Amino acid sequence: MLDYLFTSPILFLVWTIALLAAITIHEFAHAWMADQLGDPTARLAGRLSLNPFDHLDPIGTLALFIFRFGWGKPVPIDPFNLRNPRRDSAFISLAGPASNFLLAIVLAAVLRFLPIINLNLAIFNLFLSPIIIMNIMLGVFNLLPLNPLDGGKILIGFLPADLANQWEEILNQYSLIFLIFLLFPIFSSSSLISALILPIVNLILSLLLPSNPLI
């Protein structure tokens, strides 16, 4: 994305808007689900908001600009407010990626509908396709079973209690190391995360945007 800043400022602006939209809906969904499950912590902290700047994490946002994979500012959760802390935390975590996929599906449906009502598809495609792509990338990336990503909490939430405790200890100790290893190109010009995630992202995008070039 950063290369667009100098080669095509308009595209850089479009992708920045897409990034902000993806992070905002993702973190808002976490806060909304927590509130629905009885924990008002995120709402009281001002995170039940559609203001993008309430949800930006400096490192996660920078990672999105550089690698197109990243995360937003973690939503504060108080497990003591939840009836079933482990299970409910998993649902709260799952709400983020689920919201990204839902938004991408809705916008893809809009793009499919535009030619039927004779609207200019190219203009809408310029703005909506990046939002769809960014939401799919953010959603898939956050399903990795690592901390601070949602996948780690989802995994722990649905495992049996004894196995969940073991995995939680492992993730707390080693997730950051694994995440750095995956993000940074150590052995080749591209990162390992690209090799792992992009085939899945491209498969989903081929279903949502069959007429568009894949990333």
Find, among 144, 145, 136, 138, the residue nearest to 201 by Cα: 136
Q: How far, in Å, CA of 177 to CA of 170, rounded?
A: 11
Catalytic residue among 27, 35, 88, 150: 27
Computed over every residue of the chain, the mean pLDDT equals 85
What is the separation of C-alpha 28 from the centre of its chain, rounded to a whole number of angstroms? 11
Q: Around 4, how many Cα atoms within 13 Å sit in the side-chain half-sphere?
A: 13
Mean pLDDT of the region 2-14 = 74
Mean pLDDT of the region 75-94 = 94
Q: Give the per-residue pLDDT at 50.
A: 93
Give the pLDDT confidence of 36-59 residue by residue, as tens digits: 999 999 999 999 999 998 998 888
Q: Give the per-residue pLDDT at 4.
A: 61
Residue 180 predicted with pLDDT over 90 = no
Structure tokens at 103: 């938004």
Using DSSP's 3-state secondary structure scheme, residue 81 falls into helix
Mean pLDDT of the region 155-179 = 85
The amino acid occupying position 134 is M
Q: Which alpha helices (H) appear in 37-149, and where do they start and end?
A: 41-44, 58-67, 85-113, 121-141
For 138-177, the DSSP string reads HHHHTTSS-SSSHHHHHHHHHS-HHHHHHHHHHHHHHHHH
Q: Is 27 a catalytic residue?
A: yes
Are 33 and 51 in contact by the 8 Å Cβ rule? The answer is no
Residue 63 predicted with pLDDT over 80 = no
